[in-house]
Amino acid sequence: MQAGEFIEGLRRDFLLTTDDLKKIAEDFHGEMRRGLAGGRSSLKMLPSHIDCATGGESGDFLAIDLGGTNLRVLQVNLCGRGKARIERVRKFRIPESATHGRGEDLFDFIAKSIGVFTKKTGAVRRMGFTFSFPFEQDGAASGRLIGWTKGFSATGVVGRDVAALLRDAFHRNSVDKIEIAALMNDAVGTLVAGSYTDRRCDIAAIFGTGTNACYRERAAGIGKLKKSPADEGGHMIVNIEWGNFDRLPLNRYDLALDAETINPKCQIFEKMISGMYLKKIAAKIIEDMILQKIIFGGRIPARLADDFGTGDMSAIELDRAKGLPKTRSILRRLGAANSSTDERKAIRDVCNVVSGRAARASAAALFAVVTWIDPGLADRHTLAMDGTLFEKYPKFKGRVSAALKDLDPNKSSNIRMIHAKDGSGIGAAIAAAVAAKKSSNLFCDMSIRGTR
């Protein structure tokens, strides 16, 4: 078989037609409905007990953001009127030993990093904690981990309150006087940050190592809430945990990848679209092409499986120079010393097919969430987006927009995506401010919403 023929077949295997997208969105609604009611669903629809920001929150706050790859520690100044400034930020790479070892080691690593950071921050003591894994909450400042995602496996954390585990680690490491005022995941943090500057912002989505989204829901619409909707303040953000959505057409590469993961049959949507997995799907396809002797004379580059990254896919898709020199050097790094221009083009096509499907599937899920809030798309909606894939993958945003347009040619212009850079960190600080305001003034005036 020729490379061209292989790629043609691949495009068919990875094609999501507009009808497919509509079907995905429809199924997504069904799963949302069951999840909110507390029934069986691949979508956990977790009440966050945190509402969108008013824009009026102010003061200095600490925030930490534990993603899949890095821990970010921030000091944020909220000026009110929707303006936030990061005063200081420091990134700590999460060591492998912390993600796969004992839970204590992970939380010691977090506590120590905060300890190093706060040596310079002095009086700022109230902190928001962004923890980007699924957890169950009864209130805004605590949450029990339901299960790890993104390849984490630290022991002794599942089922426990992660805020309490961090507090224990503060004690063990002599980090004093820090109050964890709010706990949220990165999507919720990003929505809080987006709503701080834009009152039309009612959805947030993350496309990074993993993927997830959340939106603003009426408390009365969350059937499984224990307290009455009035006690919950009327509205709150619901964390969809959409990475686990599983009503999707899968092909042989998806199935092969899933079988190799530590969580087979879970996080199926995440495995189709997020940074941690796109590279693995692409590597599987490339391997298949090689085994069929279509490229590289049947020899698999030694480091293809382990060293190929989603960042490489970005770089390869951007490689428009004659002879694809960037792609050549990536392939050399992976162990393919010699490659022809046609082979490099085939590799680029593979990346394009895999990332293109990811963008279209993402659009279907985003469309489902917007039309859940507003079935006729009568109003304008701002979607706060973050994550390296959204930020850096070439044409990702454009392809999502195009698919949204396919889904509703007339009304998709009411959907606006913004890049809420560092939203999850800033949002944690804002949520800490909201919690502070609530505890000092139970009659906090919600009417300020909509005045920006």
Q: Which residues are catalytic?
A: 150, 186
- Which of 10, 30, 26, 44 minimizes the C-alpha distance to 266? 44
Residue 425 contacts Mg ion per CB under 5 A = no
Taking CB under 5 A as the criterion, the residue among 35, 208, 301, 423 binding Mg ion is 208
Q: By CB under 6 A, what part of segment 236-255 binds ligand ADP?
A: none
What is the C-alpha to C-alpha distance for residues 307 and 99, in angstroms, rounded to an integer?
19
Rg of the chain over CA atoms, in angstroms? 22
Nearer of residues 43 and 66 to ligand ADP, judged by Cβ:
66
Residue 311 near ligand ADP by CB under 6 A: yes
Residue 67 engages Mg ion in binding (rule: CB under 5 A)? yes
Q: Closest separation between CB of residue 204 and ligand ADP, Å?
A: 13
47 makes contact, choosing from Mg ion, ligand ADP, none, with CB < 5 to 8 Å by partner type, with none
Nearer Cβ to ligand ADP, position 70 or 413? Answer: 70
| Residues in region 116-155 near ligand ADP by CB under 6 A | 132
List of residues 6+ apart from 257 with CB closer than 8 A? 271, 277, 280, 281, 284
Establish if 366 lies at the interface with ligand ADP (CB under 6 A): no
Q: Distance between CA atoms of 428 and 130, rounded to whole angstroms?
A: 6
Please name the helix (run of DSSP H) or strand (run of DSSP E) that holds residue 271, with its range, or none. Answer: helix 268-273
Please return the burial class of 49, using the count of CB atoms within 10 Å of its CB with bins 0-12, 13-18 and 19+: buried
Backbone φ and ψ of 71, nearest 5°:
-110, 125
Query: Are the C-beta atoms of residues 427 and 419 closer than 8 Å to each other?
Result: no
Distance between CA 55 and CA 447 in Å, rounded?
12
d(Cα 74, Cα 90) in Å, to the nearest integer? 7
* Residues 125, 237, 395, 314, Cα dihedral to 10°: 50
Instruction: Select from 63-71, 154-162, 338-346, 443-451 the region that touches ligand ADP (CB under 6 A).
Output: 63-71
Whole-number minimum distance, CB 403 to ligand ADP, in Å?
A: 18
Kindly state whether residue 189 participates in binding Mg ion, applying the rule CB under 5 A.
no
Minimum separation from the CB atom of position 220 to ligand ADP (A): 33
Under the criterion CB under 6 A, does residue 74 sit at the interface with ligand ADP? Answer: no
Size of the site for ligand ADP (CB under 6 A): 18
x/- map, 273-302, ligand ADP, by CB under 6 A? --xx--------------------------
Partner from ligand ADP, Mg ion, none contacting 134, C-beta within 5 to 8 A by type: none
Residue pair 257/276 in contact (Cβ under 8 Å)? The answer is no
Residue ranges binding ligand ADP (CB under 6 A): 67-70, 132, 208-210, 275-276, 310-311, 314, 387-389, 392-393
